[in-house]
Amino acid sequence: QKLFVGDQVLRVTASSEEQITLLKELQDLEHLKLDFWREPVKTALAVDVHVPFAGLQAVKAFLESNGIQYRVMIDDVQMLLDEEKEEMFRSRD
Amino acid sequence: RDRNTNNFDYASYHTLDEIYSWMDSLEAEYPDLVTKIQIGSSFEGRPINVLKFSTGGSNRPAIWLDTGIHAREWITPATGIWSAKKIASDYGRDPSLTAILNTMDIFFEIVTNPDGYYFTHTSNRMWRKTRSINPGSSCVGVDPNRNWGAGFGGPGTSTNPCSETYLGSFEHSESEVKSIVDFILGHGNFKAMITIHSYSQMLMYPYGYTSTETPNQQELHTLAKSAVDALATLHGTKYSYGSMITTIYPASGTTADWGYLNGIKYSFTFELRDTGRYGFLLPAEQIIPTAQETWLALMKIMEHARDNPY
């Protein structure tokens, strides 16, 4: 079973077309295995991206060095999954 | 396992087996209204089931509803289950719904991507695509909402099988998509098609693959507004609305565009609620509020389709 321990979901807010372009470049970096829940399209729409733990440092460094605002929306994906699973077991009982 | 649909826990998420078993129960409890139809099989051989709600007649004008095409969006089948039960239990009680069902049939596909849904319960909660094998690639699956014959291969799709928005090797390559296409075209009398996703709180109409407006732009826009206004009356949930390309992003090969291009004027796609805090892991306690508010919007669209035959 795949685990998501330490994975985070970042909510990224681009403030210019240049930053949107940078986010699209980030999207193309396949080795980071990013999963864009909301894709970079226009500045008015937030971008949500699921970042595996192994790539967190690289992604945050990329965003910070380019002055792109973000916040951590889900701190640990696995913790949420565990809660969800527990809730399902409970309701089944 | 719940033995009838009244004991079913609508406020929690369920496995594929539980949902399929619930469908059988619903059919058994409402034999004069509900029929389960298998319209095809998934890549891994699971049945693709549709619930038909019909009070009689032959080949009546029909409404198509689907949930769960993106496997990880669990809130959508959960909303589908609640809504299907609502259709069955409100017939004969709610005058407006009764009037819809006295002139139209409703077809509801609750788990549109059964392989993906099963996979999210057993192996990868974040899985979104189908589970078909891509020749020449180690990456599995196609985004079934990029696989329809509507601007196939255009903007907003990926040709990389490892991408979450991989369009597939040809249009309707996914049996999960092809089964619906064949069923709807074979039926020939669908008047509304509503495909339900999550989690951006939006209601959208065509197009997604082009910025050209549809000839019915004004009517669809007004209808979308009335639907999101109705939705907001229950819990104040604010939806944005508009054409797919202006509201969210360019996306080609989508269900809603395919429906419209194939003569279904009232073709919409929902993005159900989320606060932006949980993503696809919407807490189970929010299932019923989500379903209840969505129902109000669905009714607006279905009533409009009933009252504006074409």
Q: Are B130 and B46 in contact (CB under 8 A)?
A: no
What pLDDT, on a 0 to 100 scale, did the predictor assign at position B156?
A: 83
Instruction: Please count the other Cβ atoms lying within 10 Å of the Cβ belonging to residue B279.
Output: 23
Residue numbers of chain A with a pLDDT score lower than 50: none
Report residue A78 CA to chain centroid gap: 13
Question: Could you tell me the sign of the dihedral formed by the alpha carbons of B208, B209, B212, B214, in that order?
Answer: negative
- Residues in A touching B284 (Cβ below 8 Å): 84, 87-88, 91
The 10s digit of each residue's pLDDT in B38-61 is 999 999 999 999 999 999 999 999
Q: Are strands B105-109 and B62-67 parallel, antiparallel or unpaired?
A: parallel
Distance CA B7, CA A86 (A): 21
Average pLDDT over all residues of chain B: 96
Are B126 and A77 inside 8 Å of each other by CB?
yes
Tell me the mean pLDDT in the region B177-201.
97
Segment holding A47, helix H or strand E = strand A47-51
Q: Is the pLDDT of residue B302 over 80?
A: yes
SS3 state of residue B72:
coil
Closest-CA distance, B190 to chain A, in angstroms, reads 31
Residues of B that are catalytic: 271
Are A48 and B276 inside 8 Å of each other by CB?
yes
Choose among A58, A66, A51, A46: nearest CA to B202.
A46
Q: Are B51 and B26 in contact (CB under 8 A)?
A: yes
The 10s digit of each residue's pLDDT in B231-245 is 999 999 999 999 999
- State both tokens at B88: 């069955």
Mutate to test the interface with B, among A38, A42, A43, A49 (most CBs of B within 10 A): A38
Distance CA B200, CA B209 (A): 19
Are A9 and B279 inside 8 Å of each other by CB?
yes
Are B281 and A41 inside 8 Å of each other by CB?
no
When pLDDT is cut at 50, 70 and 90, the band that residue B2 belongs to is low
How many helices (H) and strands (E) would you count in chain B? Answer: 9, 8
Complex confidence, ipTM: 0.91
Going along chain B, which residue ranges are E strands? 34-41, 47-53, 62-67, 105-109, 190-198, 202-205, 240-243, 266-272
Distance CA B233, CA B286 (A): 16
Query: To the nearest whole percent, how much of chain B has pLDDT over 90?
Result: 91
C-alpha distances out from residue B298 to B25, B116, B268, Å: 24, 25, 10
